[in-house]
């Protein structure tokens, strides 16, 4: 793995360009074995990955039903256990602001008092004395972003957090937040087949010195070439609810993935490695966090930093996944609302 590193915006925090998203170890993509998940995190560290992403809500709710699964905070506890003894070698990112509502579904909470309480709870679950990068998971539309970010900045002053970030917001919110405190990272979906952020969000990140952290950079494993036209998803798999994975949409999108697989075969690399290399070649400060529950895939993803793509290669891939050719939006109907 190459020694290339990037620095999170407005900080001295240096990371390898590809991290590991840990969400699937607790929910959304079917069952996961905890010991295998811990072994995957260890394998990722051995492969040079040092940037790990979680959230307090991962494990709390079934994507399909909203009913409790492994428990609120499960993924943080799992990650904390996995990095015990190597804490100084890793950069830990977690999120707050989304929790289970008593009546079902997900509640959003960006109140300053909740910011402080949520951080303390995450520190306990992770078993650490500080969080390297702390995001608000989803915007609470009933609380001014200035108030939420102000409370997050107080955590930096208190030494509980090193840097703060936002998730899934647009340029206006980014500007308002950055006027209160330095924003180090924005996490949103971005991949060959999900390019909505290219028009306004990525240029705004560049303008404000914000590192962009793409989640689902492998299209929820589709861009890794692991599905065929006969693939179906169980009711506890989040993909069963997503527009890109529905019947005719999925069939059309898989035709694009077949083009990616053929290109990857010619290059002698895995399709997922090509998809990650395409992201790393974009003219922005980008640190993708592909998720996996398998050590072999973590190692494969880490090696994507050494995959070369020429200007012609990049142009071919960009055109192959032209947004006009990709079928289906980002999400179906979600049961998410403010609650406090």
Residue pair 114/340 in contact (Cβ under 8 Å)? The answer is: yes
Residue 175 CA: distances (Å) to CA of 156, 181, 200, 210, 250: 19, 10, 12, 11, 36
Helix and strand numbers, DSSP H then E, in the chain: 10, 12
Q: 58 catalytic, yes or no? A: yes
- Report how far apart the first and last C-alpha atoms of the chain are (Å, whole number): 46
- 317's enclosing H/E stretch is helix 311-320
Q: Round to whole Å and give the CA distance between 208 and 205.
A: 5
CB atoms near residue 52 (< 10 Å):
23
**What SS3 class is residue 318?**
helix
Structure tokens at 160: 């509980």
Q: Where are the alpha helices (DSSP H) in 13-144?
A: 34-46, 74-82, 112-126
Q: Round to whole Å and give the CA distance between 158 and 151.
A: 11
Out of 58, 190, 215, 284, which one is annotated catalytic?
A: 58
Q: Round to whole Å and give the CA distance between 237 and 24.
A: 10
Q: Round to whole Å and give the CA distance between 242 and 249.
A: 10
**DSSP letter (8 states) at residue 237:** B
**What SS3 class is residue 220?**
coil
How many residues in the chain? 340
Residue pair 110/147 in contact (Cβ under 8 Å)? The answer is: yes
**DSSP letter (8 states) at residue 224:** G
Residue pair 293/44 in contact (Cβ under 8 Å)? The answer is: no
Locate tokens 């599905």: which residue? 227
User: Hey, which residues are catalytic here?
Assistant: 58
């Amino acid at each position: 793995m190459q020694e290339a590193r990037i620095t999170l915006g407005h900080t001295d925090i240096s990371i390898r360009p590809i991290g590991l998203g840990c969400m699937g170890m607790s929910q959304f993509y079917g069952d996961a074995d905890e010991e295998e998940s811990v072994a995957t995190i260890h394998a990722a560290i051995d492969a040079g990955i040092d940037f790990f992403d979680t959230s307090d809500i991962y494990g709390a709710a079934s994507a399909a039903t909203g009913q409790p699964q492994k428990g609120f905070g499960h993924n943080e506890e799992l990650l904390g256990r996995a990095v015990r003894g190597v804490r100084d070698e890793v950069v830990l990112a977690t999120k707050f602001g989304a929790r289970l509502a008593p009546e079902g579904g997900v509640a959003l909470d960006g109140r300053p008092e909740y910011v402080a309480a949520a951080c303390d709870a995450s520190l306990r679950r992770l078993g650490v004395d500080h969080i390297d990068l702390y995001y608000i998971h989803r915007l609470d539309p009933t609380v001014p972003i200035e108030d939420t970010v102000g409370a997050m900045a107080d955590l930096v002053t208190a030494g509980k957090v090193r840097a703060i970030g936002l998730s899934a917001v647009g340029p206006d919110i980014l500007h308002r937040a950055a006027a209160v405190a330095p924003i180090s990272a924005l996490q949103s979906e971005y991949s060959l087949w999900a390019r909505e952020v290219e028009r306004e969000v990525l240029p705004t990140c560049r303008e404000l010195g914000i590192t962009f952290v793409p989640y689902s950079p492998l299209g929820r494993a589709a861009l890794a070439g692991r599905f065929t036209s006969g693939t179906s998803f169980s009711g506890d798999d989040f993909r069963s609810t997503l527009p890109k994975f529905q019947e005719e949409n999925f069939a059309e999108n898989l035709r694009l993935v077949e083009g990616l697989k053929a290109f990857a075969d010619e290059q002698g690399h895995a399709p997922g490695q090509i998809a990650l290399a395409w992201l790393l070649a974009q003219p922005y400060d980008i640190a993708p966090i592909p998720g996996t529950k398998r050590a072999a895939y973590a190692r494969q993803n880490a090696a994507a930093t050494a995959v070369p793509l020429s200007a012609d290669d990049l142009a071919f891939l960009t055109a192959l996944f032209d947004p006009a050719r990709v079928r289906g939006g980002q999400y179906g109907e979600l049961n998410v609302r403010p609650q406090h």
